[in-house]
Amino acid sequence: MTIRALIAEDEPILAATLQQSLKRLWPELEIAAVCPNGLEALAKGLELRPQVLFLDIKMPGKTGLEAAEDLAEQWPEGEPFPLVVFVTAYDEYAIAAIEGDAADYILKPVSDERLSKTVARLQQRISSRGPDMDGLLAQLRAMMPAQPAQRLAIIRAAVGNQVRMIPVADVVYFEAVDKYVNVVTADAEALIRVSLKELMPQLDPDVFWQVHRGTIVNSHCVASSTRDEAGKLTLTLRTRPEKLRVGPLYTSLFRQM
C-alpha cells in the first residue's frame, strides 16, 4: 500500500529540506502536497486524504493546531484519520508532555537523526494499528496555553441598553457566532464580544467542556448523549430544547465509564 503524506510549512527552504530528507529516509513515502499555510493544508488534506500530516505549528491564516482540528471536524465518517507530526521551533521542555501520544513532533531545524526516529515510529504505527483520535486531542490540549488560576465568575453582557450580570454557573453553553460568543442560559441568550478561544481558559475545565470547535457546554446541564446511525454524537440538555453536536475530537468525553 502506498503511504501518502502532506507537508504544511510556510518557510519554503524548510519545506524543501523536509521533503528531501523524507525522500531519503523513507523512499516509499509519496509526498502528495506541500502547502505554504494552514488554509491550504486543510483544503488539500480533505482532497487528498493522506495517511500522514507534517504540520508546522505557526503558519499564516491558520496554525497547524487549528488545521489539525478543522481536519478532524470535517474528516469523512468511517475513514481513518491521518497520523499528525507537528513541526515546531518550541524547545523540548515545552512539548515533552506530548511525546509518546498518537502524533509525533520534530524540532526545527529538522535533523536526519530525529526525523529517522519519527519515520520509524510512523511506520510502526501504520503497520500495527490506525491513528488514535484521542491521542491527537491530547496533543492539541497539551500544546494550548496553561489554564490561569483565576476563573471567571460573572459575565457582563450587553442586552439593549442594559448590562446583564450573568453568573457563569447559570450558563448552559457558549456558542461562537462570528466575532462574538452567544451566552445561553436556561431562559435567555446574550452576546459578548470575545472569542471562544479567549473565553475557554477563564472557565473551569472540570465543569465546562469544549464539545465542538464552536461550542463549550456546562457538563452539569447535559442530560444524555446519543449516537446516530452515521456515528455522529449529539447532546440533549436538561433545560434547553436544542441539541448540541459533538465534534469528532471530543467524543471521548462521553464514553461510558
**Listed range (14-23, 44-53, 194-203, 217-226) with the worst mean pLDDT:** 194-203
Mean pLDDT of 180-184: 95
* Strand boundaries in the chain, DSSP class E: 4-8, 30-35, 52-56, 83-88, 104-107, 154-159, 162-167, 171-177, 180-185, 189-192, 208-212, 215-218, 222-227, 233-237, 243-246
180-185 sheet: strands from edge to edge: 189-192, 180-185, 171-177, 215-218, 208-212
**C-beta atoms surrounding 159 within 10 Å:** 12
Q: pLDDT value at position 159? A: 81
Give the CA distances from residue 236 to residues 38, 59, 122, in Å, rounded to whole numbers and listed in that order: 34, 37, 39
State pTM to two decimals: 0.61
Q: Contact 37/20 with Cβ under 8 angstroms?
A: no
Q: Going by DSSP bridges, is the β-strand pair 104-107/208-212 parallel, antiparallel, or unpaired?
A: unpaired
Give the integer Cα–Cα distance in Å for 70 and 73.
Answer: 5
pLDDT in tens, 219-246: 999 999 999 887 789 999 999 999 999 9
Using the predicted structure, report yes or no on whether residue 25 has a pLDDT greater than 60: yes
Q: Is the dihedral of CA 76, 82, 87, 93 positive or negative?
A: positive
Mean pLDDT of 116-123: 92
Using the predicted structure, report yes or no on whether residue 36 has a pLDDT greater than 70: yes
**C-beta atoms surrounding 3 within 10 Å:** 16
Q: Contact 103/88 with Cβ under 8 angstroms?
A: no
Domains and CATH numbers, the chain: 4-142 (3.40.50.2300), 154-254 (2.40.50.1020)
Q: Which three cell numbers stand for residue 51?
A: 495517511
Mean pLDDT of 76-89: 85
DSSP 49-90: --SEEEEESS-SSS-HHHHHHHHHHHSPTTSPPPEEEEEE-S
User: Which H helix or E strand runs over 140?
Assistant: helix 133-142
